[in-house]
Amino acid sequence: MPAPIADHTQSLDCRHRRCPAGLTLLELLLAISIAAIVLAASLPAMGGFVLNQRMDAEAQRLQQFLRHARVMAISRSAIVVVCPSDDGQRCRDDSQWQYGWLMFEDRNRDRERQAAEPRLRVGSGMPGLAANSSVHRTRLRFYANGTAPGTAATLVLCDARGAPYAEAVSIANSGRIQRKSARRGELKADCPGTAQTGG
């Protein structure tokens, strides 16, 4: 049986004229232009996704901090207070939580940390966000039975996009702590302090 004859047509043809070795400059420019258009169209959506993830993470961090305070009150059979704080030692005199927060055992029940009262934990600030509670609930107390006496409290977190993207952590009198989101239609929030950001 005779051996098959190799087809050298293509290689012979390329010897006499220029064969395409890749993309032409025009094809390359067209591909880059299309990629740039697709990237430009997706950047705003990606930016929104990143901001949403950050808001979710900060709201979850605050919720976990408050849950930990409730557990500490139960386990220590004591009153535990959480308040806004920018130095981790004393409570702020306002309702702005974006600078950080402080958890301490309130032995004398005055809702202010004294030098002899144990500092249990400190939360860092939230740069670029505003976080506010009601002016009537700047100190959150958890009792040994797990309750949080007083009116129900809500901590609202906002970024530069304002109220439609707000997140919140609410504390019921029973001590139940849950999150709410304006994006999911669970929250109608006002973001008056959006321009004031933590550091």
- Is residue 55 assigned to a domain? no
| CA 22/CA 101 separation, integer angstroms | 61
**pLDDT value, residue 167:** 94
- Is residue 5 assigned to a domain? no
- Is residue 157 assigned to a domain? yes
Number of H helices, E strands in the chain: 2, 8
- Is residue 19 assigned to a domain? no
Per-run averaged pLDDT (10 residues), the chain, 199 residues: 55 58 80 82 73 93 97 97 95 94 96 94 94 90 95 92 93 94 85 54
- Is residue 28 assigned to a domain? no
CATH number of the domain encompassing residue 136: 3.55.40.10
Neighbours of 62 (CB within 10 A): 23
Number of domains in the chain: 1
Alpha helices in the chain (DSSP H): 9-16, 25-76
- Is residue 12 assigned to a domain? no
Closest CA to 147 of 166, 174, 165, 128: 174
Global pTM value: 0.75
Domain around 119: 60-199
Biggest alpha carbon–alpha carbon distance for the chain: 106
Neighbours of 72 (CB within 10 A): 19
**pLDDT value, residue 134:** 85
Q: Is 16 exposed, middle or buried (0-12, 13-18, 19+ CB in 10 A)?
A: exposed
| CA 131/CA 191 separation, integer angstroms | 9
